């Protein structure tokens, strides 16, 4: 895939784990609350929620701990802890975010964002980081019926961007995100965060890079820019 290919019109980014280094903060928040209720190590359960909507996340935790604690209370407390961590430590950006987004925008590529997080939260976090204006379209998890790994969110993003899925590429870190984008028909770029891809996931990945900076370098080579 080449960025100067006339058929490629848009890039659609995931947010948590791609734009923001937030998945680790989320895991820390869940663990803080889990410790309050003596739930033990909840790492594996929390990892299952990466790329999933709030509704799906609560269902996953309910299956694991619903017989021991109110999952709604657990979720509310975890959100509070994460908000406190962000206020104290800030919400860290992934290295190379501004450079990649700026390069794509200067190349005339439409930019969208498709996150399982709710729309208002997504917009607030992007605005706080000075990133909101880069995106022509933002789609939150509360705007679609079926969350990742179903294709709904990427199909809606492409519809709002007025591009066909085959003319768009996604940038994702999660298994569920890659599956979602692949099912929607987008080209898939994976930049892993907390989860290293399985062989099955790699079959769905067209471009695999370790960082956003490597994605930019790859695209620059295809355009002949340095």
Compute CA distances 182 → 148, 173, 185, 195, whole Å: 11, 13, 5, 18
pLDDT of residue 180: 97
**pLDDT tens digits, 120-141:** 999 999 999 999 999 999 999 9
Cis omega (within 30 of 0) for bond into 149? yes
pLDDT of residue 6: 61
Q: Which CATH code fits 10-21+93-223?
A: 3.40.50.1000
Q: What mean pLDDT do residues 41-62 have?
A: 89
Q: Which residue ranges make up each domain of the chain?
A: 10-21+93-223, 23-89
Residues 62-102 pLDDT 10s: 999 999 999 999 999 999 999 899 888 888 999 999 999 99
Least confident range of 29-33, 53-57, 178-182, 207-211? 53-57
Reported as a pLDDT band with limits 50, 70 and 90, residue 2 is: very low
Q: Are 176 and 52 in contact (CB under 8 A)?
A: yes
* Whole-number pLDDT of residue 51: 76
- Give the three-class secondary structure for 170: strand
Which pTM value belongs to this model?
0.85
Query: Which residues, other chains included, contact 143 with Cβ-Cβ below 8 Å and sequence gap of 6+?
Result: 119, 153, 156
């Amino acid at each position: 895939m080449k960025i100067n290919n006339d058929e490629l019109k848009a890039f659609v980014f995931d947010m948590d784990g791609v734009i923001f280094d937030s998945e680790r903060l989320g895991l820390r928040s869940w663990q803080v609350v889990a410790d309050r209720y003596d739930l033990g190590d909840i790492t594996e359960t929390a990892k299952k929620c990466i790329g999933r909507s709030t509704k799906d996340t609560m269902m996953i935790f309910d299956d694991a701990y619903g017989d021991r604690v109110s999952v709604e209370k657990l979720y509310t407390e975890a959100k509070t802890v994460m908000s406190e961590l962000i206020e104290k430590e800030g919400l860290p950006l992934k290295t190379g975010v501004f450079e990649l987004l700026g390069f794509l925008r200067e190349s005339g590529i439409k930019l969208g964002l498709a996150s399982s997080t709710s729309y208002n939260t997504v917009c607030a976090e992007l605005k706080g980081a000075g990133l909101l204006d880069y995106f022509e379209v933002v789609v939150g998890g509360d705007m679609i019926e079926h969350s990742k790994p179903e294709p709904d969110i990427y199909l809606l993003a492409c519809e709002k961007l007025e591009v066909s899925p085959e003319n768009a590429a996604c940038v994702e870190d999660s298994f569920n995100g890659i599956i979602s984008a692949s099912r929607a028909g987008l080209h898939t770029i994976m930049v892993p965060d907390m989860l290293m891809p399985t062989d099955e996931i790699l079959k769905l990945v067209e471009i695999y890079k370790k960082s956003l900076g490597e994605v930019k370098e790859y695209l620059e080579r295809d355009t002949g820019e340095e």
